[in-house]
Chain A
Amino acid sequence: QKEVEQNSGPLSVPEGAIASLNCTYSDRGSQSFFWYRQYSGKSPELIMSIYSNGDKEDGRFTAQLNKASQYVSLLIRDSQPSDSATYLCAVNNPNAGGTSYGKLTFGQGTILTVHP
C-alpha cells in the first residue's frame, strides 16, 4: 500500500462545475496536509494547507480533512480551464523517521482537465 494515494485521473469536468480531488494516507500520525498545484513543466505551488478535521475554505478552494478515515480532499468550485493541472497531495508526520524532521510524503498526483 502506498503511503499517500491519489487517483491519477485524468479527471475531466466541464467549466463551472465542482471538481473533487481525493487523497488517502496510511500514517495515522500525520498532522499536516497540503495540496499543491503543478502546471505542466512547472514546479508545485501551494494551494491549501489544513491541520484540523473539518473544512477550510479559501476562495474557490475547499480542503476537507477526516483523520479518522485518513483522507483529505480538495474541492474546486466554479472550475475554470486555468485550473487544468496536476494536483499533488502531501502529508507530513512530524514524528516520522526518528528525527526532528517531519517527513513530507507526496502522492503521485491527479491530473485535472477543465473543458470549456
Chain B
Amino acid sequence: DGGITQSPKYLFRKEGQNVTLSCEQNLNHDAMYWYRQDPGQGLRLIYYSQIVNDFQKGDIAEGYSVSREKKESFPLTVTSAQKNPTAFYLCASSIGTGGLETQYFGPGTRLLVL
C-alpha cells in the first residue's frame, strides 16, 4: 500500500533534549513538508524539501532542523532551542511543488514535553 508513515505516534521530550520525528513515504513524491498544528489553529509550515539534499525554511523554522538524504525520508529534529514544542506534527508529500499539486498527509506525531 502506498502512503506516508510517521513515527512515533506519541513522543515525550525532556527539558534540553533533542528529539527526531520520522517521516517516510512510498508514493514516489518529490516534495515533502513538515507542519505544526496547535489546538484550534490551522497548519503552519516548518520546512519543505523539493528534491533530495535540498530543503527550505518555512514560516516557523526556528528551533527545528531537517535532512533529506533519501527521496523517501524527511526526518524532523526538534531541538532544545524550540521553547514551546508541544504540538501535533504533520508530515506531507506531493508529486511536485509547482503550486497546484495536492499535499497528502501522514498520520501525525503528537509531541509532549515532560
* Given A42-B108, A43-B108, A101-B56, also A88-B100 (CB < 8 A): no
Residues in chain A near residue B48, CB distance under 8 A: 101
Contact A95 B99 (CB under 8 A): yes
The number of chain B residues touching the other chain, given as a range, is 20 to 34
Stretch of B14-22, B38-46, B61-69, B74-82 contacting A (4+ beta carbons < 8 Å): B38-46
Q: Which residue of B lies closest to A96 (CB)?
A: B99
CA A108 – CA B42 in complex, angstroms? 4
In B6-53, the 8 Å CB interface with A consists of 31, 40-45, 48, 50
A94 CB contacts on chain B under 8 angstroms: 98-100
Q: Is the Cβ of A102 less than 8 Å from the Cβ of B42?
A: no
What is the predominant secondary structure among interface residues of chain B facing chain A? loop
The smallest C-beta distance from B86 to any residue of chain A, in angstroms, reads 15
Mark A residues whose CB is within 8 Å of B. 4, 8, 31-32, 34, 36, 42-46, 49, 51, 88, 90, 92-95, 99-104, 106-109
16 contacts between A and B (CB under 8 A): A4-B42, A8-B40, A31-B100, A36-B105, A51-B100, A88-B42, A92-B99, A93-B99, A99-B56, A101-B31, A101-B56, A101-B97, A102-B99, A103-B45, A108-B41, A109-B41
